[in-house]
Structure 1
């Protein structure tokens, strides 16, 4: 996600669509794609106009799906000069769980992944939910701006509710979209890198920002609104399957983790699903498992998947797995070396996190003060 509040925030440029963060229509999605392409041009010309907020839940080790899906783009944006906030969403681990697992270990592991891939803690802010009280306190006024029905229509909430069967939904899970809005708005994000499935969450944040200013008198009197209207930087990341041909998931054990050693990577890819046809082609619809390995090799080596497939030709699945393994291990070698150094120095990791938490807390405190002033709750 991204965030920055300026005199002409990008969030003010896009027309609001609906008061409900539900599903995204084809027309709305096309508008978002066009606006996202325009934002990319604006980023090239003036990256300082933008601030991004993005992050992950510390539920396990990051893998190549995360890397190609979002991590690589975060590094690109930061290196382009965009101010970057990266959230380690530890509170969101407990939305639908009885326990958090080895949370401290996972937070530090996630941080090591971030630093190893090239996120610069000096040029951005890496922080945790639990260390920024004012961010979480924003949920109280924000919750007054949404209805129970709106939250239940949110696609993520609906899918999570369906997945739990008869298990009652926790209040934290129901209000998950509002918590995400607080993540975006506490630092006045005006740009959020998302996939199309996350657009309803961003729309909910836009709705909350608008409703707050309408209710508390900052929208129509010529003053700068308290919150920008954050926009989407739409990611068209390649859809990657796990080594078993199913959706890539930490819980399925079908991923290639960033911190995994080269031998384990080779063993896992050796078991990857292919098909009996020895002639390798790139056909995502007709040959999804084979094409997935071709795509992995292409992404890791910076090549076109069609060229990788043509080079392998009649080499069969064994050659394909060998090519994919070599490309991934070569790409990840410097990341893994750096990650090992970082993991061996937890004191440094904690220092980075504490600095980030302090900065995020200072920004959240200032935003909460502004919110209280707008609500006339300063005593």
Structure 2
């Protein structure tokens, strides 16, 4: 066995253990959801689309309804990790908030907050950065991928330290569960390393347990949803179906979706990825099965397929879009939701920072 083979085998074994633990966590949530606190979030770089909706939003709502305390970060500071400006960020933050609430997230049960509004969270970056090395950061797969995507332009310090910022996001509220895909596991491992090293270096500051838990992964089975051109759904490619689109705009976008020349519709993700992606979208929106939908369409061709997909998506999203329109028309309510979320996140972050100062012997509020 070569070194590469050994590394691959070790990686496979580690993933298998993570998958087994994730499955066990699902059972533990059913037994006692109060044991868990979830942290997840999005960068406000554009409007949310069907990839977000089916890939993450529905899972967040599912966890909320199961009684899991959830924190959702609108990562506005992370917008500038690889960009020269913030763009229409305020508009995008409130667009995300409207999408969240319209999809079913309840601000009474879920804390929604922004990076820039929680100073104590960001202050954790200083001690956390002392716990990791330059080489560890440069080896992080996401840092490498993001750097490659910049086309060779110099890496910003914020991009290099992106994994540590994510560790602060997770640990400030002592989240012990993070929904991730397998590609995001290195980021979660960085947070676990930071939590462990903080305990080893500074101790517990008189607490009964480490200041920070070592968060675990809840591996999500997010469906792979492609854009209308058969490539990864991305606003920059102009191939998205946004949650906030109306029915006519959705129909117009799907009318341009690529298929192929075979009129007989079959579900074959490898051989017919574009056709299969449309079947997956229809199945997700209708709680149907791709193979059965393909059989129903038969030799109706791409036109019939697009009609089925359009009707399924528009029918599924109709109540979401109606609620979203109500929310967008009430910016004062959206602002109140964000204020409450920011206030709660700040209170928790300040408490955590006080514990960090205590463990680091930097608490100067009491006499020696």
Report the RMSD for the aligned CA atoms in angstroms: 1.3
Give the Cα separation in 1 of the matches to 2:343 and 2:285: 36
1:324 aligns to 2:291 (yes or no): no
Contact kept, 8 Å, 1:56 with 1:88, in 2: the verdict is: yes
Q: Secondary structure at the match of 1:314?
A: coil
Deviation at residue 223 of structure 1 after TM alignment: 3.3
Q: Secondary structure at the match of 2:85?
A: coil
Partner of 1:87: 73
More relative contact order, 1 or 2 (CA 8 Å, 6+ apart): 1
Question: Please, which of 346, 353, 358 is the counterpart of residue 368 of structure 1?
Answer: 353
Give the Cα separation in 1 of the matches to 2:36 and 2:219: 15
Deviation at residue 237 of structure 1 after TM alignment: 1.2
Matches within 5 A, 1:59-138: 59-138=45-124
Partner of 2:261: 276
1:246 aligns to 2:231 (yes or no): yes
Deviation at residue 26 of structure 1 after TM alignment: 1.3
Give the Cα separation in 1 of the matches to 2:261 and 2:126: 57
1:194 aligns to 2:218 (yes or no): no
Give the Cα separation in 2 of the matches to 1:279 and 1:24: 43
Give the Cα separation in 2 of the matches to 1:116 and 1:200: 31
Contact kept, 8 Å, 1:279 with 1:315, in 2: the verdict is: yes
1:232 aligns to 2:217 (yes or no): yes
Deviation at residue 185 of structure 1 after TM alignment: 0.2
1:161 aligns to 2:147 (yes or no): yes
Give the Cα separation in 1 of the matches to 2:60 and 2:86: 26
Name segments (4+ residues, structure 1) moved above 2 Å: none
Matches within 5 A, 1:9-88: 25-88=11-74
Give the Cα separation in 2 of the matches to 1:250 and 1:30: 34
Contact kept, 8 Å, 1:191 with 1:231, in 2: the verdict is: yes
Give the Cα separation in 2 of the matches to 1:222 and 1:265: 54
Deviation at residue 217 of structure 1 after TM alignment: 2.1
Give the Cα separation in 2 of the matches to 1:217 and 1:362: 23
Give the Cα separation in 1 of the matches to 2:18 and 2:295: 35
Matches within 5 A, 1:189-228: 189-218=175-204, 223-228=208-213
Deviation at residue 236 of structure 1 after TM alignment: 1.6
Contact kept, 8 Å, 1:63 with 1:256, in 2: the verdict is: yes
State TM-score, norm by structure 1.
Answer: 0.92
Give the Cα separation in 1 of the matches to 2:175 and 2:203: 21
Partner of 1:259: 244
- Provide structure 2 residue ranges, at least 5 long, that are not aligned to the other structure: 1-8
Deviation at residue 222 of structure 1 after TM alignment: 9.0
Give the Cα separation in 1 of the matches to 2:10 and 2:140: 11
Contact kept, 8 Å, 1:24 with 1:199, in 2: the verdict is: no
Deviation at residue 24 of structure 1 after TM alignment: 8.4
State TM-score, norm by structure 2.
Answer: 0.95
Q: Deviation per CA, 1:291-327, whole angstroms, max 9, x where unpaired?
A: 0000100000001111111111111111000000000
